[in-house]
Amino acid sequence: MSALEIHQIPVLEDNYVYLLHEPGSEATGVVDPAVSEPVLAEAERLGWAITHILNTHHHGDHVGGNRKIVAATGCHVIGARRDRRRIPGIGVEVDDGDRIRLGEAEAEVFFVPGHTSGHIAFWFPESAALFCGDTIFALGCGRLIEGTPAQMWPSLKKLRALPDETRVYCAHEYTAANFAFARTVELENAALMARGEAILAARAKGARTVPSLLGEEKETNPFLRADVPSLAAAVGMSGRDPVEIFTEVRGRKDRF
Ligand code: ZN
Ligand code: FE
């Protein structure tokens, strides 16, 4: 086991691609390469030779760089077994509970359907790092493009169960827009309002708000709080089933 060096690359409008370097073995992974050129250029600048691609799901803004990166480096592509026909160049097929290695660093794979039917997340416990694609965003969650609330809510709970100090390396800088919505859900959440001020200040300076800490998501992200009584009360659904409450909050966001 070993801790990773993590390098964040902003690409396209608002995507983040991550380079993960394991210093002992020199293994280097790329999480969700939307594009190839900036990723290959950053790896080159850092002197890191890419050995693996880790894909969370099949969307083009997460796998768009796969083919060219494989062609340039000969790296292995790790993705969900159920999505093997939709992940370009997949060579290592994984499922819930599997462990993968990046040199000496080990990650656990979680199956987290909802945004897509085959979405997975990678958790590196030694690095306190969670790569969750479009499942959890800072103050948000992915749209339910292929899944249902009854799938997404357990997926979010599975990730929420990780330690508070876990850094949430999501795939998009959506945080300011997510705050604009979240504040309409939980007007009386003081932690949310304080976080929102910090987010707006950061964005005003052009600073990134990702990664966030899972502990702060637990306190402020409305999509992780469908079973918290104060959120249920805030949406007028005290005592109701968390899946129904999650459905309501996700529906409000879709119409926001
Ligand atoms: Zn997506
Ligand atoms: Fe995406």
- Reported as a single tens digit per residue, the pLDDT across 176-233 is 999 999 999 999 999 999 999 999 999 999 999 999 999 999 999 999 999 999 999 9
Q: What is the pLDDT of residues 10-20, one digit of tens each?
A: 999 999 999 99
- Of 105, 75, 102, 111, give the one whose Cα is nearest residue 91: 75
Q: Is pTM, for the whole model, over 0.85?
A: yes
pLDDT of residue 188: 95
How far is the centre of ligand 2, averaged over its atoms, from the C-alpha of 240 (Å)? 31
* Nearest ligand to residue 14 Cα: 2
Query: Is position 21 annotated as part of the catalytic site?
Result: no
Question: Active-site residue 62, yes or no?
Answer: yes
User: Is the model's pLDDT at 71 over the cut of 70?
Assistant: yes
What tokens does 166 get? Answer: 């876990």
Active site residue 115: yes
Q: What is the mean pLDDT of the chain?
A: 98
* Cβ < 5 A residues, ion ligand 1: 59, 134
pLDDT tens digit string along 91-135?
999 999 999 999 999 999 999 999 999 999 999 999 999 999 999
Q: Is residue 186 within 8 Å of residue 234, measured between CB atoms? A: yes
12 Ramachandran zone, left/alpha/beta (phi>0; psi -120 to 50): left
SS3 letters across the chain: CCCCEEEEEEECCCEEEEEEEECCCCEEEEECCCCCHHHHHHHHHHCCCCCEEECCCCCHHHHCCHHHHHHHHCCEEEEEHHHCCCCCCCCEEECCCCEEEECCEEEEEEECCCCCCCCEEEEEHHHCEEEEECCEECCEECCCCCCCHHHHHHHHHHHHCCCCCCEEEECECCHHHHHHHHHHHCCCCHHHHHHHHHHHHHHHCCCCCCCEEHHHHHHHCHHHCCCCHHHHHHCCCCCCCHHHHHHHHHHHHHHC
Residue 172 is among the residues annotated as catalytic for this protein:
yes
Q: Is 59 a catalytic residue?
A: yes
- 134 as an active site residue: the answer is yes
Active-site pick, 58, 59, 83, 119: 59
pLDDT score, position 135 = 98
CATH superfamily of 5-255: Ribonuclease Z/Hydroxyacylglutathione hydrolase-like (3.60.15.10)
Q: How high is the pLDDT of residue 2?
A: 78
